[in-house]
Structure 1
C-alpha cells in the first residue's frame, strides 16, 4: 500500500525544516545527520577565508584596491564588530568624484561572496548607464558600515556593499546588498536600504536583485536619501507566479 506523506508538498516549496518526524523522543538518525551537516556548512561559511585573487580576477578591469578593517584576525572579527566597521589606516584609497562606490565585503560568509557578488555587479552596472562608478573595492574582515568609510575616502555620493550574510541552517551562501546615500563614518542602519537573500536558485536571482537595486538607486539620487524613508514600492519586483 502506498502512503502519501502530507508534508511533501510543503517541503518541496521551502528550504526550511518542516515535518521532520521523530524516532522516539528525538529526531531520526537521518535528520540528525542532515542537521549536523548543515551546521558544519554554516561554520565553514563563517570561518573560511575569501579567495581574494579569484574575486579580483573575476572583476577584471573593474577591480580596485583590496582593503582591510582594523580587525587583526577572524577571532577578533567575531568578538569585535566595532573594529570591523573601521577602515585600516594604510588603505591607500585615492579620493575622486564618483556617483557610486561598490564594495565587495567578506562579512560572515565568504562562500556567498565567492558564489554571487561578481554576478550581481555584472547584472547591476549595465542598469546604471551614465553613472560614474569607482573601481570595485574588495574589503576583508568587513562589516557593512566599513563601506561608509571606504566610499567617503573615494569621494562617492552613494555606496553599495555586497556582503556575506550570517549563515542560516539552510542558507550558508546568502548575499546581502546594502545601499547608503552620502556615506560617512557614523551612519546607522536606519539610513540604509537592504536587498537580502541573493542566492539563486534558492533565493533572489541576480537580475531580480539588480532590478530592485537599480530602482532604489535612481530614486535615492532623485530624493537624495536612503533608509526608512525610501521604500521599494514593488514596481521593480518580478511578477508573482500565476
Structure 2
C-alpha cells in the first residue's frame, strides 16, 4: 500500500468525524510533523487567543449595542492589564473610587458585563445576552442599570451587587480562550452574594455562549432566566439550584 493510498484512507476515515467537532483530530502527517496548512491554522488560533486576552475592553462598543439602556462603568482594583493577569485577587474587587458612583436601590438583579479573559467575547455577545435575558424576565422585576466592568473577574459581581443592594447578580464575562474558541462568553448567576465569602459553589454557570458554534442567545437566555426565577423562589444558587430545562423539554416531547 502506497503512502498516498494510506493518506487517502485516513482522510476518508477522519473527514466525517471532523464535521461534528472543533477538536483537532485526524490532521494527518507531513514527515514527522503536521501538514503545513494545519500548522498554520494552529498558529493562527494561538494568535487569536493571545489577542483576545490582551485586547483592551471598549465599554463604548457594549454601551452602543445596548441601544440606550442605562449603564454604569467601573474598574476593578487592578490598575492595568499586566497587573490584572498577575493578580487575580485584584480583579475580584471594585476600585473604591468607582464604588461610590454606583446607584443604590431595591434591585432584583444587576447585570455586569465584564471583560474577563476575552474582551472579544464581550464585544460580540455581551449586549445581546443582556437584551435576550431581560426580555424573558417578569415585567415586575426591578433591573438595575447595566454595569460595564474593566479588568474584572467573576467575583467582582459580588462587590457590585452588594454595593448596589441587588438581590442577585449575573456576570457576563469573557472566558479563557482555547485553541478552538477565542470568543466564548460565560454567564455566572449568584443569589445574595457576599464579597469575600461567596465561593464558586454558590454560583450557577452557563458556558460557551457563542452562536452559531456554541449556545445561541435564545437557548442561553432561556436557561438563565429560568434559573433566575427558581433562584428567587428557592433563595439560593449554586449547588442548591439545578438546571432541569433540558429534562423538561425531553419530557414534554415524546419524539
Superposition TM-score tier, normalisation by shorter sequence: over 0.9
Task: Quote the residue 1:171 is aligned against.
Answer: 181
1:6 equivalenced with 2:13 (yes/no): yes
Kindly tell me: are residues 62 and 184 of structure 1, through their superposed partners in 2, closer, same or farther at Cα, counting changes over 3 Å? Answer: farther
Superposition map of 1:142-153 within 5 A:
142-153=152-163
* Higher CA-based Rg: 2
Deviation (angstroms), 1:111: 0.4
| Structure 1 segments unaligned to the other structure (5+ residues) | none
Secondary structure at the residue paired with 2:12?
A: coil
Say whether the 8 Å CA contact 2:92–2:156 is kept in structure 1.
yes
Between the aligned partners of 1:101 and 1:152, the Cα distance in structure 2 is 10
Segment drifting more, 10-19 vs 101-110:
10-19
Secondary structure at the residue paired with 2:245?
A: coil
Q: Which has the higher helix share?
A: 2
| Structure 2 segments unaligned to the other structure (5+ residues) | none
Between the aligned partners of 2:237 and 2:249, the Cα distance in structure 1 is 22
Task: Quote the residue 1:70 is aligned against.
Answer: 77
Deviation (angstroms), 1:31: 1.2
Between the aligned partners of 1:106 and 1:17, the Cα distance in structure 2 is 27
Between the aligned partners of 1:238 and 1:49, the Cα distance in structure 2 is 40
Deviation per CA, 1:35-56, whole angstroms, max 9, x where unpaired? Answer: 0000000000000012211111
Task: Quote the residue 2:48 is aligned against.
Answer: 41
Between the aligned partners of 2:102 and 2:85, the Cα distance in structure 1 is 26
Kindly tell me: are residues 5 and 162 of structure 1, through their superposed partners in 2, closer, same or farther at Cα, counting changes over 3 Å? Answer: same
1:22 equivalenced with 2:29 (yes/no): yes
Between the aligned partners of 2:181 and 2:203, the Cα distance in structure 1 is 23
Say whether the 8 Å CA contact 1:208–1:237 is kept in structure 2.
no
Secondary structure at the residue paired with 1:128?
A: coil
TM-score by length of 1: 0.95
Secondary structure at the residue paired with 1:178?
A: strand
- Paired residues, what number? 241
Say whether the 8 Å CA contact 2:66–2:128 is kept in structure 1.
no
Between the aligned partners of 1:144 and 1:236, the Cα distance in structure 2 is 28
1:230 equivalenced with 2:230 (yes/no): no
Cα RMSD (Å) of the superposition? 1.8
Deviation (angstroms), 1:72: 1.1
Secondary structure at the residue paired with 2:233?
A: helix
1:192 equivalenced with 2:203 (yes/no): yes
Say whether the 8 Å CA contact 2:113–2:148 is kept in structure 1.
yes
